[in-house]
Amino acid sequence: MTQKPVVFIDGEAGTTGLEIRERLAPLPVTLHSVDHAHRKDPAARKEAMQAADLVVLCLPDDASREAVEMAAELGDAAPRILDASTAFRTAPGWVYGFPELEAGQAEAIAIAPRVANPGCYPTGAIALLRPLVDAGVMDARYPVCINAISGYSGGGRSMIEAHERDGGPAFELYGLKLEHKHVPEIHQHAGLKRRPVFVPSVGHFARGMIVSIPLHLDDLNGNVSGEDLHNILEKRYAGQDHVRVLAAEPKLSAEALAGSDRMELRVHANTQNRQALLTARLDNLGKGASGAALQNIRLMLDLNAA
């Protein structure tokens, strides 16, 4: 592009929208906004979409679906879309916005008209599981169980206000009906043929996340060791700027990567008991949300040299 590309963030007043706007400020883009008094006016939003090269949707699922329909009404003048909601992460015709997913994914994102930004929990889970499934070490029907804890900033404005006002709870399990909206995304993009069990939780800290997946090594293929699993992950993510495969540690703090766009993957193994624990540590608002969005925006607008 010879001129600065125009970006419109629909839903820029929310947590993710505000972070994306702040991160875009130093980049060679023009940010187009709708006057606050008209931010929910369909005509004003449609006009902003028509003026944009890329629309970033930071909206609830139903509102994102309506926005995509609105953009489609523009026909040849329709902008490209990056959606941060859950609405299109498994939808046909949308490219999944996890550049490290597999070879060629970043290139697919760069040219896609519609990209679905990944969820925070799925980013960690898929990063750990997909390489093992692709390598044939983990059968696609392995009974995967995923545990995860996130900072309260991932729960939206009401949860943030409750934690900052009331100071807790210190730890809380949720999604106990085992129908969390991220499960279909993990199921599909991790390459699984059996629905995983996913148990999320939230802690009384603002930012950060750990996703952990316990494994019985004897239930994997090829008599593998923890070192073998580490090597598979290390080979898969070699040369990636945002994903690092590191040595196991005796303790992990979920807050360690707060403010970072990196993700750290580890294999913690007990050789004698033939057990392993896979962990992914990231910032739920970094690589898990606005950081991932910025990574995709850079690809879509060819800004990686900026």
C-alpha to C-alpha distance for 94 and 16, rounded to whole angstroms: 20
* Amino acid, res. 126: I
Are residues 112 and 126 both part of a single domain?
Answer: no
Are residues 80 and 132 both part of a single domain?
Answer: no
**Residue 306 domain-assigned (yes or no):** no
Q: Which residues are catalytic?
A: 120
Parallel, antiparallel or unpaired: strands 209-216 and 145-151 = antiparallel
Are residues 176 and 89 both part of a single domain?
Answer: no
Are residues 147 and 73 both part of a single domain?
Answer: no
Are residues 232 and 141 both part of a single domain?
Answer: yes
C-alpha to C-alpha distance for 142 and 264, rounded to whole angstroms: 23
Residue the block writes with tokens 């019985």: 216
Give the pTM: 0.95
**Residue 235 domain-assigned (yes or no):** yes
Are residues 141 and 57 both part of a single domain?
Answer: no
Structural domains counted in the chain: 2
Contacts 24+ apart (CB under 8 A), 67-73: 67/10, 68/114, 70/42, 70/45, 70/46, 73/46
Q: Which domain holds residue 139?
A: 118-280
**Residue 178 domain-assigned (yes or no):** yes
Of 152, 266, 172, the residue nearest 212 (C-alpha): 266
Residue 37 has a pLDDT of 78
Strand partners, 96: 116
* Amino acid, res. 37: A
pLDDT tens series, the chain, 306 aa = 458 999 999 998 888 899 999 999 999 999 998 888 778 888 999 999 999 999 999 999 999 999 999 999 999 999 999 999 999 999 999 999 999 999 999 999 999 999 999 999 999 999 999 999 999 999 999 999 999 999 999 887 788 888 988 888 999 999 999 999 999 999 999 999 999 999 999 999 999 999 999 999 999 999 999 999 999 999 999 999 999 999 999 999 999 999 999 999 999 999 999 999 999 999 999 999 999 999 999 999 999 866
SS3 of the chain: helix, strand, coil, percent, to 5: 35, 20, 40
Are residues 155 and 270 both part of a single domain?
Answer: yes
CATH code of the domain in which 169 resides: 3.30.360.10
- How many other CB atoms sit within 10 Å of the CB of residue 166? 9
Residue 6 has a pLDDT of 97
Are residues 193 and 224 both part of a single domain?
Answer: yes
Q: Are 101 and 130 in contact (CB under 8 A)?
A: yes
Residue 1 has a pLDDT of 45
Beta strands per DSSP E along the chain: 6-10, 30-32, 54-57, 80-83, 95-96, 114-116, 145-151, 171-173, 197-203, 209-216, 243-245, 263-270, 275-282
Are residues 86 and 152 both part of a single domain?
Answer: no
- CA distances in angstroms from 66 to 46, 72, 95, 175, 208, listed in the order given: 11, 10, 19, 26, 31
**Residue 305 domain-assigned (yes or no):** no
Residue 2 has a pLDDT of 56
Torsion of CA 101, 9, 121, 282, to 10 degrees: 80
